[in-house]
Chain A
Amino acid sequence: MEPLEKKTCCATEAVAEGSRPRDGKLARYLLLLAPALVIWWVAYGMLPGFSRLLTYDVLGIAQGSHLGDSVEFLLYDTPKVLMLLTLVVFGVGVIRTFFTPERTRRILAGKRESAGNVMAALLGIVTPFCSCSAVPLFIGFVTAGVPMGVTFSFLISAPMVNEIALVLLYGLLGWKVAALYLGTGLAVAMVAGWVLGKLNLEPYIEDWVMKIRTDPSALPPDNQTWVDRIEAGFHAVKDIVGKVWLYVVIGIAVGAGIHGYVPEGFMASIMGKDAWWSVPAAVLVGIPMYSNAAGIVPVVEALLGKGAALGTVLAFMMAVIALSLPEMIILRKVLKPRLIMVFAGVVGLGIAFVGYLFNYLY
């Protein structure tokens, strides 16, 4: 009889929790968050000194040695990136509660091309959806009258401009590179979406998609309190940081190894500015690879330190994040093969252009 007893006990407990007043919760969360932010700030400022102390005094590794360079890099970058990631993922998690896909669709539904492309690319950053929602989203947008090019701007920007990649680039390479990534990522999404819209590709959407009538009025209303929003932030941290921290650490460890042991200028011949073919090659190699930004950026940083060109490395990273084979296989359910090829081609060209631009500028 024990299992039955247990069932009833848990059920009553859970219902009681649901009806508990949540008024005191917001005050408690705010009291918790304020000191946490101060501690974060102080600890972040102490990281450079702490990593040096640990490497050279506590571990006793000789200054200026290969091992010392690697270990100091690892001990400084790992906590730095994880701390930045936690803060930004929490912030983005809260912001995202304001932008549901339903609301985004309403905003974009009446929009013309061009202004719509710009808006869709921006909304792509903050609207939350998991990668397997790409198809239902595409259907929902197109059947609601969002122009196809605008829908594509949204679908390109959502994975391409990624908050994890942004944090890693800022933390490891500085704000300039992070800002350039953000700006060019948005530009590729806007322009590629606009071009795809101009190509009149509607006939290449699978026929059944257009026949579907969606009725968004049947959806539950979206009424969230601040307690819900803060909890969404906590949930995002648990979910995302909990999932990617290992990739970040592995990525930084590989980066640390390259940093300490690969000679300066080693990458210059393969991924350097003078190798003109390196940009398209980086895009082509990147497309079938599927990795998250977390693992790839620390390696990118280390490659740059050894003479690889910024544009080539960024093009590689963007291709890996934005054009993944699994996503194209999912999109095949609604798009005919020719449209998928045009999509990959236009986005790939945009990324290659960004690569050449950076190599030219730096």
Chain B
Amino acid sequence: MEIKVLGPGCAKCKEAEKVVLEAVTESGVDATVEKVADFQQIASFGVFSTPAVVINGEVKVVGKVPSKTDVLSWLK
């Protein structure tokens, strides 16, 4: 599973990355988590408010920090 956390590096983007990493560890799913800070790449997903989380190319959340419960449900 390929997970991307989109965000240039503000507090909320770091929080989103933390939540995703925690959820991945907790679920034991085999996934790579990548932080994307490049605006060109962020825009190519059609995302224009950060943080956003993309799993296997599909945008799951835009403009807010997801809850751990949300992330766990996406990982299933």
Interface centre among B8, B9, B42, B43 (most CB of A within 10 A): B43
Q: Across the interface, which residues of B come within 8 angstroms of A133, CB to CB?
A: 48-50, 63
Q: Across the interface, which residues of A come within 8 angstroms of B10, CB to CB?
A: 130-132
Q: Is the CB of B48 within 8 A of A141?
A: yes
Q: Is the CB of A15 within 8 A of B72?
A: yes
Q: Say whether B61 faces chain A, with CB atoms less than 8 Å apart.
A: yes
Considering the chains assembled together, what is the distance between the CA atoms of A215 and B45 in angstroms? 7
Considering the chains assembled together, what is the distance between the CA atoms of A133 and B58 in angstroms? 20
Contact of A129 among B27, B49, B58, B72 (CB under 8 A): B49
Q: Across the interface, which residues of B come within 8 angstroms of A330, CB to CB?
A: 8
Q: Say whether A350 faces chain B, with CB atoms less than 8 Å apart.
A: no
B50 to chain A, nearest CB (A): 5
Q: Give residues of chain A (266-306) contacting chain B, Cβ–Cβ below 8 Å.
A: none
A146 to chain B, nearest CB (A): 11
Contact of B63 among A129, A208, A216, A334 (CB under 8 A): A129
Q: Is the CB of B8 within 8 A of A212?
A: no
Q: Across the interface, which residues of B come within 8 angstroms of A212, CB to CB?
A: 40, 43-44
- Supposing A139-B39, A212-B43 touch, asked if A105 and B48 sit within 8 A by C-beta, the answer is yes
Q: Say whether B73 faces chain A, with CB atoms less than 8 Å apart.
A: yes
Q: Is the CB of B50 within 8 A of A132?
A: yes
Q: Is the CB of B69 within 8 A of A140?
A: no
Q: Say whether A135 faces chain B, with CB atoms less than 8 Å apart.
A: yes
Q: Across the interface, which residues of B come within 8 angstroms of A14, CB to CB?
A: 26, 68-69, 72
Considering the chains assembled together, what is the distance between the CA atoms of A227 and B59 in angstroms? 23
Q: Is the CB of A219 within 8 A of B40?
A: no
Q: Is the CB of B68 within 8 A of A219?
A: no
A-side interface mostly? helix
Contact of A132 among B9, B46, B61 (CB under 8 A): B9
Q: Is the CB of B48 within 8 A of A101?
A: yes
- Supposing A131-B10, A334-B39 touch, asked if A101 and B28 sit within 8 A by C-beta, the answer is no
Q: How many residues of B contact A (CB 8 A)?
A: 34
Q: Say whether A10 faces chain B, with CB atoms less than 8 Å apart.
A: yes
Considering the chains assembled together, what is the distance between the CA atoms of A131 and B9 in angstroms? 11
Considering the chains assembled together, what is the distance between the CA atoms of A282 and B59 in angstroms? 44
Considering the chains assembled together, what is the distance between the CA atoms of A218 and B44 in angstroms? 11
Q: Is the CB of B72 within 8 A of A139?
A: no
B13 to chain A, nearest CB (A): 7
Q: Say whether A100 faces chain B, with CB atoms less than 8 Å apart.
A: yes
Chain A 108-145: CB-based contact to B (< 8 A → 1; otherwise 0) = 00000000000000000000111111011101110100
Q: Across the interface, which residues of B come within 8 angstroms of A132, CB to CB?
A: 7-10, 12-13, 50
Considering the chains assembled together, what is the distance between the CA atoms of A340 and B42 in angstroms? 22
A118 to chain B, nearest CB (A): 22
Q: Is the CB of B48 within 8 A of A17?
A: no
Contact of A18 among B46, B50, B58, B72 (CB under 8 A): B72
Q: Say whether B21 faces chain A, with CB atoms less than 8 Å apart.
A: no
- Supposing A10-B26, A14-B26, A17-B69 touch, asked if A214 and B63 sit within 8 A by C-beta, the answer is no
Q: Say whether B25 faces chain A, with CB atoms less than 8 Å apart.
A: yes
Interface centre among A141, A217, A333 (most CB of B within 10 A): A333
Q: Is the CB of B60 within 8 A of A220?
A: yes
Considering the chains assembled together, what is the distance between the CA atoms of A238 and B49 in angstroms? 21
Q: Across the interface, which residues of A come within 8 angstroms of B26, CB to CB?
A: 7, 10-11, 14
Q: Across the interface, which residues of B come within 8 angstroms of A143, CB to CB?
A: 43
Q: Give residues of chain B (1-43) contacting chain A, Cβ–Cβ below 8 Å.
A: 7-13, 25-28, 39-40, 42-43
25 A-B pairs with CB atoms under 8 Å apart are A7-B28, A14-B68, A15-B69, A15-B72, A15-B76, A18-B72, A18-B73, A101-B48, A105-B48, A129-B49, A130-B11, A132-B8, A132-B10, A135-B8, A135-B39, A136-B43, A136-B50, A139-B39, A212-B40, A212-B44, A214-B44, A214-B48, A215-B46, A218-B46, A219-B46
B residues at A contact (CB < 8 Å):
7-13, 25-28, 39-40, 42-50, 58-63, 68-70, 72-73, 76
- Which 5 pairs, one residue from A and one from B, show the smallest C-beta to C-beta distance? A140-B48, A132-B10, A136-B48, A101-B49, A18-B69
